[in-house]
Chain A
Amino acid sequence: MSATQGGQDSRHVHGHDHGHAHADGAGHGTLKGYVIGFLLSVVLTAIPFWLVMGEVFDDKQATTLIILGFAAVQMLVHMVFFLHMNTRSEGGWNMLALIFTLVLVVITLSGSLWVMYHMNSNMMPMSVHDMRNMP
């Protein structure tokens, strides 16, 4: 009885999905998609660790930029292959919310780092004597 119930449920859900193509937000992954995503993220994780642990480049700035690039690509890979993001899910509202969040994240991160870095470097130098007599 419970098996029949499960079967009916699944057919119902299936029919529903055909009605609204990918309208339920979480798209349906395939085995191929998951395996491709996994292999890509293994490679995209291994290379930054190798770059840093093996001290491949002498230039730290270059290494930093490269690993940040790898992180951005890997986040994209996870979004597409694991979170099944596309422009159609939930009638585009998922993507709109994501873009809005990304804008806020960029403003928060770059704004904080930029402002606080300049606050630090423009601060009046303080001597040990001043520090001791601070209120």
Chain B
Amino acid sequence: MTSTTIHAATNGDPALRFYDLGGEHHPENGTMLGFWLYLMSDCLVFAVLFAMYGVLGGSYAAGPSPKELFDLPLVAVNTSMLLLSSITYGFAMLEMARSRKAATLVWLAITGLFGLAFVSLELYEFHHLIHEGAGPQRSAFLSAFFTLVGTHGLHVSFGIVWLVTLMVQVSQRGFTVENRRRLNCLSLFWHFLDVVWIGVFTFVYLMGVLR
């Protein structure tokens, strides 16, 4: 038993050494870099939407102002949902590094639930605003608001769809190299959306109430 282990280890060693010497320092495939470039272009999309909100955010057309509309306690709860989902995704990645399938799936599910809570609260807020007559057609400020916050919410919704898809993939096929790569990509996406949300709650909600 011991001899076979040693045999296997020495057998595996040349393969490892081959990897070490053979590789000039470039990545095996460019997926992670490519996905990062996608995120950066997405960042530009949000930058344009932020710029639009910055320009139009004061044009109320004699309609309601942010101070009358925004419910900061609700936004605070929403923000904490997204923050909690960020750390639970981190826990899922840590469990993936230890190749523990069940624990990874549990953390992914919790992440998805927090994401779902975030989207639900946002939809509730939108419904409430439209019900009060402060829909996207009311003023330039509200059009810009719904476009910016809605685009972010749409990203989170697609993130949840992606998350559920990967949970099915992992539960059926386990941690293959492809699934690990996909989970890494979703990790970047999910945390990136949290970074954008920092901009949203500061620039739109908090500064809107201050205005």
Given contacts A7-B99, A19-B23, contact A52 B51 (CB under 8 A): no
B126 within 8 A of A: no
Count the B residues whose beta carbon is within 8 Å of the partner chain — how many? 62
In the assembled complex, the Cα of A41 lies from the Cα of B185 at a distance in Å of 22
Task: Give the chain B neighbours of A67 by CB distance below 8 A.
Answer: 202, 206-207
Contact B55 A6 (CB under 8 A): no
Interfacial chain A residues near B76, Cβ < 8 Å: 49, 53
**Residues of chain A with a CB closer than 8 A to B44's CB:** 101, 104-105, 108
Give the segment of B85-93, B115-123, B130-138 that binds chain A: B85-93
Q: Is the CB of A26 within 8 A of B188?
A: yes
Q: Are A83 and B176 neighbours in the complex by a CB distance under 8 Å?
A: no
In the bound assembly, the distance between CA atoms of A76 and B185 in angstroms comes to: 20
Q: Is the CB of B72 within 8 A of A49?
A: yes
Is A16 within 8 A of B19, CB to CB? Answer: yes
| Chain B residues within 8 Å of A63, by CB | 210
Contact A83 B175 (CB under 8 A): no
Q: Answer whether A16 and B28 are a contact pair too, CB < 8 Å, given A7-B99, A9-B177, A113-B54.
A: yes
Quote the shortest CB–CB distance from B40 to chain A (angstroms). 4
Interface string of B17-56 (1 = CB under 8 A from A): 0011001011110001101110010011001101110110
Number of chain A interface residues as a range: 35 or more
Q: Is there a chain A Cβ closer than 8 Å to B194's Cβ?
A: yes
Find out whether the CB atom of B27 lies under 8 angstroms from the CB atom of A24. yes
A117 to B196, CA, bound (A): 24
State the CA gap A77–B35 with chains docked (Å). 21
Given contacts A6-B174, A38-B87, contact A116 B25 (CB under 8 A): no
> Which A residues are CB-close (under 8 A) to B79?
45, 49
CA distance A62 to B28 in the complex (A): 49
Question: With a CB–CB cut-off of 8 A, which chain B residues contact A74?
Answer: 198
Residues of B with C-beta under 8 A to A34: 87, 90-91, 94
Report the minimal beta-carbon distance from A95 to chain B, rounded to whole angstroms.
10
Does B146 sit at the interface, judged by CB under 8 A? no
Any A CB within 8 A of the CB of B61: no
Q: How far is the CA of A28 from the CA of B184 in the complex (A)?
A: 10
Closest Cβ of chain B to A69, distance in Å, is: 10
Judge whether B6 is part of the interface by a CB distance below 8 angstroms: no
Query: With A5-B174, A70-B202, A108-B47 as given contacts, are A60 and B210 in contact (CB-CB < 8 Å)?
Result: yes
A-chain residues with CB within 8 Å of residue B19 when the two chains form the complex: 15-16, 19
- B16 at the A/B interface (Cβ < 8 Å)? yes
Known contacts A23-B28, A45-B83, A75-B199, then 7 further A-B pairs from the complex at CB < 8 Å, ordered by chain A residue: A41-B86, A42-B83, A45-B198, A52-B206, A71-B203, A78-B194, A111-B51
Taking beta carbons and an 8 Å cutoff, which residues of B are in contact with A?
15-16, 19-20, 23, 25-28, 32-33, 35-37, 40, 43-44, 47-48, 50-52, 54-55, 72-73, 76, 79-80, 83, 86-87, 90-91, 93-94, 97, 99, 101, 174-177, 180, 184-185, 187-188, 191-192, 194-195, 198-199, 201-203, 206-207, 209-211
Q: Show 29 A/B contacts (Cβ-Cβ < 8 Å), sorted by A.
A: A6-B101, A6-B174, A20-B27, A25-B27, A25-B36, A26-B188, A34-B91, A38-B87, A42-B83, A49-B72, A49-B76, A52-B210, A53-B73, A60-B210, A75-B198, A75-B199, A78-B195, A79-B195, A82-B86, A83-B188, A83-B195, A90-B32, A91-B25, A93-B33, A97-B36, A100-B40, A105-B43, A109-B47, A112-B51
